[in-house]
Amino acid sequence: MRLRGVNRSRNVIDRRGRGGRAAGGIGGVGLLVVLAIGYFTGVDVTGLLDQAPPSQQSSESRELTQAEQQAGDFVARVLTTTETVWTEVFPDQLGRSYGAPQLVLFSEVTQSGCGGASGSSGPFYCPADQRAYLDTAFFGFMSQRLGAGGDFAAAYVIAHEVAHHVQNELGILGQVHQLRATMNEREANALQVRVELQADCLSGVWAYHVSDLLETGDLEEALNAAERIGDDYLQARAGRQANPHTFTHGTSAQRMRWFQNGRASGAVADCDTFSAAQL
């Protein structure tokens, strides 16, 4: 992804290096990243990873590594592209203005308007404070443990969390929250799948509008990432039989298909997963 000429977003809050937990083992990847895949499935998949000594609490600040600095710069530039796209798409397609979210970078643990983030929290969006949260070590986890490397795969993760903010701006997340409160677990999971697949589609809309920044192989990286974080794929990797009733994000095929739907047209109207008879 060609980001050299893209400015850094001012909506990034960097909490890394301000204390928290010191990483244990596992190839230098912290506890958050060890368990992050559980965020996508609600499944304990720690058996996929090597055992490591428990992390230790630390209140000492530290200097960011060069890799962390580069990751932060990358995130800030990708976030700018989402701001540019949605600031244009909202009035053009939805007849309203767009308020961009803040994105918080953290290491290991942090606090959000939705509570503490640690262990299985992975990248997430909090509607309560309208912020996305990301431990940049997750990119290394995607590449090393899931085989979903590449800069555009990482950009897709950022775009997906921003897509949840788009849903929040449109009132979708609030409506879903109210509906889920009236449902049993199976029904609530099925509804959440539609939320996540719509976010994948909206990520595709973003990809459509940044096509001038793409390089050869970028789209393949995003589709590969979508495949590797499908519920069925991750449950199989965890040594469990795929159980559709527990899915919360959709299968690999569904995630790739909805991303491609948005990428093909660049139209928000083509991302109505809630009305789709078949996902």
Rounded Cα distance between 122 and 138, Å, is 7
The DSSP bridge partners found for residue 126 are 131
Mean per-residue pLDDT for 79-104? 98
pLDDT of residue 194: 96
Q: Which amino acid is at 209?
A: H
Residue 54: what residue type?
A: P
What's the whole-number mean pLDDT along residues 122-139? Answer: 91
CA-closest candidate to residue 139, choices 216, 207, 73: 73
Query: Residue 49 pLDDT more than 50?
Result: no
When pLDDT is averaged across residues 38-67 and rounded to a whole number, the result is 52
**pLDDT, mean of residues 136-156:** 89
Encoded amino acid at 22, one letter: A
Answer whether residue 97 shows pLDDT above 50.
yes
Angstrom distance (rounded) from CA 206 to CA 200: 10
DSSP, res 55: P
Query: How big is the chain by its Cα radius of gyration, in Å?
Result: 18
Mean pLDDT, the chain, integer: 84
Q: Which of 75-79, 180-184, 230-234 has the lowest mean pLDDT?
A: 230-234
Per-residue pLDDT at 55: 39
Contact 48, 131 (CB under 8 A): no
- Tell me, rounded to whole angstroms, the distance of Cα 156 from its chain centroid: 7
Structure token digits, residue 199: 């976010």
- Please state, in angstroms and rounded to a whole number, the distance separating the CA atoms of residues 85 and 29: 32
pLDDT score at 32: 36
How far is CA 130 from each of CA 67, 103, 114, 162, 235, rounded to the nearest angstrom? 27, 9, 10, 10, 30
| Predicted pLDDT of residue 21 | 47
Which residue from 33, 194, 212, 53 is spatially nearest to 106, judged by alpha carbons?
33
Please report which confidence band the pLDDT of residue 109 belongs to, taking 50, 70 and 90 as the band edges.
confident
d(CA 223, CA 55): 33
Q: Is the pLDDT of residue 30 over 50?
A: no
- Of the ranges 9-13, 50-54, 264-268, which one carries the lowest mean pLDDT score? 50-54
- This prediction's pTM: 0.85
| Residue 43 pLDDT exceeds 70 | no
pLDDT at 29: 35
pLDDT one-digit tens code per residue, 221-270: 999 999 888 888 888 888 887 888 888 899 999 999 999 999 999 999 99
Report the share of the chain in percent with pLDDT over 70.
Answer: 84
pLDDT band with cut points at 50, 70 and 90 for residue 118: low
With residue 56 as reference, give the H or E element that holds it.
strand 56-58
Give the containing element (helix H, strand E) for 225: helix 218-228
- What pLDDT shows up at residue 59? 55
Could you tell me the pLDDT band of residue 36, with boundaries at 50, 70 and 90?
very low
Per cent of the chain over pLDDT 90 is 63
The whole-angstrom separation of Cα 109 and Cα 120 is 10
